[in-house]
Amino acid sequence: MELNKQKAALTSIGIDKSTNRLIDKLCKRYNLKKGQIVRLAFVYIDKASINPFEPPESAKAELAKINKRQDDLIRFIRHFEEEQLNPMIRATHSIAVRFDNIAKTLEALILSQLEQNQERYNAVLQKISEQFGKHANVINSQGKQIGSLHQLLKQDNEKLLDLIVLYAELAACGVMDGKRKENLKAEIHKRINLE
């Protein structure tokens, strides 16, 4: 039954001798029958949307077109880099430098405030010890409480300084330091959540 369908579907076409030689040559090269090579050629023409009246130019011409498109793309990228990307990088760097200077100034201010606070705490402790020298148990318990508060304050201050340093490092990261930025963000998040 299949043979009858196949025979009924077959048709013949007329071709000149040079085309026949070309078909024979392709059949030998690819080990195909004439019907198969003709069918595959038409499938290729259909899929590639090739107009038989306008055959593609030579491979050199096609490569030249591709190279021209590639050169146009490279020129566009360079122009974009000069006009857009480099100014953004310079602006980002300028902001990072300013942020770094501000962070260093804040760090110095915080350290001086911490020293002043430390002196104040020491003065308060000394006054307490002078006034309540007779009440040793009360003074010891209060001293322990103040010491733990001092330790907590010191730990909080250290955490704050660590966070400021991490933020400064994050601000100093360049545009291409994505991995470093992610690591710094994760470290900042981790330190904040430890509280």
What is the tens place of the pLDDT at every residue in 168-182? 776 777 656 677 777
Cα separations in angstroms, 50 against 20, 71, 109: 21, 26, 74
pLDDT at 177: 67
pLDDT tens for residues 85-110? 888 888 888 888 888 888 888 888 88
**Read out DSSP for 3-44?**
HHHHHHH-------HHHHHHHHHHHHHHT--HHHHHHHHHHH
pLDDT at 163: 72
Q: Does 1 score more than 50 pLDDT? A: no
pLDDT digits (tens, 9 = 90+) for 7-26: 556 778 888 999 899 889 98
Whole-prediction pTM = 0.30
pLDDT tens-digit profile of 66-89? 888 888 888 888 888 888 888 888
**In this structure, are residues 138 and 66 in contact, taking their beta carbons and an 8 Å threshold?**
no
113 or 140, which is more confident? 113
Domain ranges of the chain: 15-56, 62-193
